[in-house]
Amino acid sequence: RKQKGFQDEITLVAPGGLEAVGISFWDQKENAEAYSRTTYPEVQKALAKVVEGTPQVQNYEVSNSTFHKIAARVAA
């Protein structure tokens, strides 16, 4: 949350808790890449204690979002 350009994080956990997906949103691709190079290796070390296997990182660009509508409904 303190990383330059970080916007938001969504974590989805499958029923039973055996699988999870984390989606982070960044203001610029360069800031996400900097996080992947400098900070994420330390996060991986911490996760190794509770996660089986190596988490996979994939990059995408947001083409459309209605997330602001979902967030507004949850807050109401």
| 3-class DSSP state of 47 | helix
Quick one: pLDDT at residue 70? 61
Tell me the torsion sign for CA atoms 29, 33, 34, 35.
positive
The domain spans of the chain are: 6-75
Quick one: pLDDT at residue 36? 93
Residue pLDDT, tens place only, 35-75:
999 999 999 999 898 888 888 889 988 888 887 766 666 66
Distances (CA, A) of 75 to 12, 56, 62, 68: 19, 31, 23, 11
State which H helix or E strand residue 11 sits in: strand 6-13
